[in-house]
């Protein structure tokens, strides 16, 4: 398996893991774009939103739940934050394992792209 996120899940490469359960894991982005920049991902290797089957759909809800909880822990619940899922080449997806970015701790740009 040459997926970098699967290797973090397997503990084969280090990651600053902040949360995990049976289906979701969250860790700090290696190149933070904001004071808080976390990645929330399913443990199952789903390449992108496009590959999300109906059966896998509930994992998105779990990822949002974990993101909200981590935002609280990071102290940015009140100030605000942004959840982003890039999909495909023109959507800016570089790692082909579904992931949600949690960004906050500064005023984010109003531009979405």
> What residues make contact with ligand 5GP under the rule CB under 6 A?
4, 15, 27-31, 39, 86, 92-95
Residue 3 interaction partner, one of Zn ion, ligand 5GP, none, beta carbon < 5-8 Å per kind: Zn ion
Looking at beta carbons only, is 54 or 81 nearer to ligand 5GP?
Answer: 81
Pair 3, 94: CB distance under 8 Å: no
Looking at beta carbons only, is 5 or 27 nearer to Zn ion?
Answer: 5
Task: Give alpha helix (H) positions in 1-112.
Answer: 4-9, 58-73
Active-site residue, 37 included = no
| Buried-state track 47-81, b at ≥16 Cβ within 10 A, e below 16 | ebeeebeeeeeebbeebeebbeebbeebebeeeeb
Residues from 42 through 81 that contact Zn ion (CB under 5 A): 45
Q: What is the largest CA-CA distance in the chain?
A: 39
**Would you say the C-alpha torsion 58, 72, 38, 110 has a positive or negative sign?**
positive
* List 51, 96, 99, 101, catalytic entry: 99
The residue range among 6-14, 17-25, 28-36, 71-79 that interacts with Zn ion, by the rule CB under 5 A, is: 6-14
27 contacts Zn ion (rule: CB under 5 A): no
Q: Among all residues, which ones are annotated catalytic?
A: 99
């Amino acid at each position: 398996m040459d997926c970098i996120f699967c290797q973090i899940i397997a503990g084969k490469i280090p990651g600053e893991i902040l949360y995990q359960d049976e289906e979701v894991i969250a860790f700090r982005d290696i190149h933070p774009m904001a004071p808080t920049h976390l990645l929330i991902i399913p443990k199952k290797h789903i390449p992108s939103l496009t590959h999300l089957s109906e059966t896998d759909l509930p994992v998105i809800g779990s990822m949002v739940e974990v993101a909200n909880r981590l935002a609280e822990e990071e102290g940015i619940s009140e100030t605000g934050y942004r959840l982003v899922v890039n999909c495909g080449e023109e959507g800016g997806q570089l790692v082909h394992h579904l992931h949600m970015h949690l960004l906050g701790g500064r005023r984010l740009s109003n531009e979405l792209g």
